[in-house]
A and B are shown apart, each in its own frame.
Chain A
């Protein structure tokens, strides 16, 4: 077993709680992370030689604390901080408590940061990913990502963002920002917004783990379970949604035998947990319920479309967006037929937000084809292909355009 990889694994397991515990001591998330990193480097140096300690998390914390104290002594920072650290050094409570960890998540997703910085910082501080890994995941050069992360940490320090749970009245909005970041990370991995790599599975897995971790920390918030369910039910189709040649496979054509039953079971469990909390359901839970309708259908023909349409109606009220209304069109197609669906899609035609969205043309083209309007369908599909963000989707749409005129 490669010792370096073991140190990395231990770091991934404990870094978030470590940074959380250190932040409570030094009141600065950037500084805390520096100390944690120092301890990580020390582990990289010592563990391969001396073996992994019995209490790796405790070892990292003790080492990081010692370094923090050393630095503070050297720089003679305020006595008060030094006293605090000295006291903290005596107590035996391992690394970060649940509430410290949760505070760290809220700090990393703080509204003073841009959404892309929140995602990067969450992966870095909570996910324990290196700058290089995050840069790789978001397809930017490591130097750019490094600057983005340091700027984010500096912004938090300058804005004097408190290391604490948000006030109860601010919690729903703040939690929503956290869930958005987790889902952003997931979708980045589930279907890349750029480049030719259609799926970056490890990033999606990372987001699912963050989501489950949040669910463990906030067991009374239905939307956290809703998001976990949504991600897992979508991810259950990973293996089935790309063909042998790397092309995307539509839901209708997927081999359901290749759906991941463990993820489906876990996702359905999370969904029923969300519902069981008996609070008003949020958009993630409703989307998860839609995904669950697909997961439960043994064959595409068995899909409960009326239920999906009803859920889309609910979602349109909860989170009105042109993309939601567009997805609703697919349910209309299966409940009321292609003409009703085309009418519904044409109602969205003037929405400028859909003007450059390739799936609008993909769906409209499909409906025209079903209605026998082949020439119009081909035009629509070709236009959609021109807007598709990935090569694979472009190819698929071009093929369908060609099929329409055949």
Chain B
């Protein structure tokens, strides 16, 4: 199964997350471990929300909001795509993610992909 792991950081200044060079080495080692285990398909870090835009779709109209999103409690810092055997396995890999005590509360959200079989079930196939 494929899962998307979204890396969120809660309750901290976005600049601390973005400029956290000390975490590059441990994250690199972690990525190396994921890669050697054969589960890593894709990964990326995301630039801070000051460079982001939100397109708001509401009541049939759209509007565009420029970052930074000051009201947001969570900063999305990056993601992985893993191919794992089960959600439990994904959780155990996520548990091994390095943490920096300086940088607030980290939160890894693991979202399984819709599989073809699920879609077929949805479509009544």
Beta-carbon contact of A266 and B38 below 8 Å:
no
Which of B8-16, B64-72, B78-86, B101-109 is the contact stretch? Answer: B78-86
- What are 23 of the A-B contact pairs (CB < 8 Å)? A1-B91, A6-B88, A6-B91, A6-B92, A8-B88, A12-B89, A13-B93, A56-B92, A202-B85, A205-B1, A205-B83, A205-B85, A208-B83, A209-B83, A212-B35, A212-B39, A213-B38, A217-B36, A239-B116, A244-B120, A244-B125, A258-B116, A265-B42
> Does any Cβ of B come within 8 Å of A350's Cβ?
no
Minimal beta-carbon separation of A374 from chain B (angstroms):
33
Beta-carbon contact of A13 and B92 below 8 Å:
yes
Chain A residues with a Cβ closer than 8 Å to the other chain, count: 32
> Does any Cβ of B come within 8 Å of A98's Cβ?
yes
Specify which chain B residues have a CB less than 8 angstroms from the CB of A386 in the assembled complex. none
Beta-carbon contact of A216 and B36 below 8 Å:
yes
> Does any Cβ of B come within 8 Å of A339's Cβ?
no
> Does any Cβ of B come within 8 Å of A210's Cβ?
yes
Specify which chain A residues have a CB less than 8 angstroms from the CB of B39 in the assembled complex. 209, 212
A244 to B123, CA, bound (A): 10
Specify which chain A residues have a CB less than 8 angstroms from the CB of B18 in the assembled complex. none
Which of B35, B36, B42 has its CB near the most chain A CB atoms (within 10 A)? B36
Query: Total A-B residue pairs with C-beta atoms closer than 8 Å?
Result: 67
Using CB atoms, name the residue of chain A closest to B39: A209
A10 to B85, CA, bound (A): 11
> Does any Cβ of A come within 8 Å of B56's Cβ?
no
Specify which chain B residues have a CB less than 8 angstroms from the CB of A242 in the assembled complex. 116
Beta-carbon contact of A266 and B92 below 8 Å:
no
Q: Give the bracket for the number of chain B residues in contact with chain A.
A: 20 to 34
Specify which chain A residues have a CB less than 8 angstroms from the CB of B93 in the assembled complex. 13
Minimal beta-carbon separation of B15 from chain A (angstroms):
31
Beta-carbon contact of A210 and B92 below 8 Å:
no
* Given A13-B93, A262-B81, A5 contacting B88 (CB threshold 8 A): yes
Which single member of A8, A206, A266 contacts B41 (CB below 8 Å)? A266
Specify which chain B residues have a CB less than 8 angstroms from the CB of A5 in the assembled complex. 86, 88
Specify which chain A residues have a CB less than 8 angstroms from the CB of B88 in the assembled complex. 1-2, 5-6, 8-9
> Interface majority SS on B: helix, strand, loop or mixed?
mixed
> Does any Cβ of A come within 8 Å of B55's Cβ?
no
Binding site for A on B (CB under 8 A): 1-2, 32, 35-42, 81, 83, 85-86, 88-89, 91-93, 116, 120, 123, 125
Minimal beta-carbon separation of B123 from chain A (angstroms):
8
> Does any Cβ of B come within 8 Å of A88's Cβ?
no
Specify which chain B residues have a CB less than 8 angstroms from the CB of A222 in the assembled complex. none
A5 to B93, CA, bound (A): 14
> Does any Cβ of B come within 8 Å of A263's Cβ?
yes
Specify which chain B residues have a CB less than 8 angstroms from the CB of A9 in the assembled complex. 85-86, 88-89, 91-92
A98 to B32, CA, bound (A): 12
Specify which chain A residues have a CB less than 8 angstroms from the CB of B83 in the assembled complex. 205, 208-209
Beta-carbon contact of A13 and B116 below 8 Å:
no
A210 to B39, CA, bound (A): 9
A206 to B2, CA, bound (A): 12
Minimal beta-carbon separation of B27 from chain A (angstroms):
17
Specify which chain B residues have a CB less than 8 angstroms from the CB of A12 in the assembled complex. 85, 89
* Given A9-B85, A209-B37, A238-B116, A262 contacting B91 (CB threshold 8 A): no
A208 to B81, CA, bound (A): 15
Specify which chain A residues have a CB less than 8 angstroms from the CB of B2 in the assembled complex. 262
A209 to B89, CA, bound (A): 13
A6-B91, A13-B37, A265-B42 given. 14 additional CB < 8 A pairs?
Answer: A1-B91, A2-B88, A6-B92, A9-B86, A9-B92, A56-B92, A205-B1, A209-B37, A209-B39, A212-B40, A213-B37, A216-B35, A216-B38, A262-B81
Specify which chain A residues have a CB less than 8 angstroms from the CB of B86 in the assembled complex. 5, 8-9
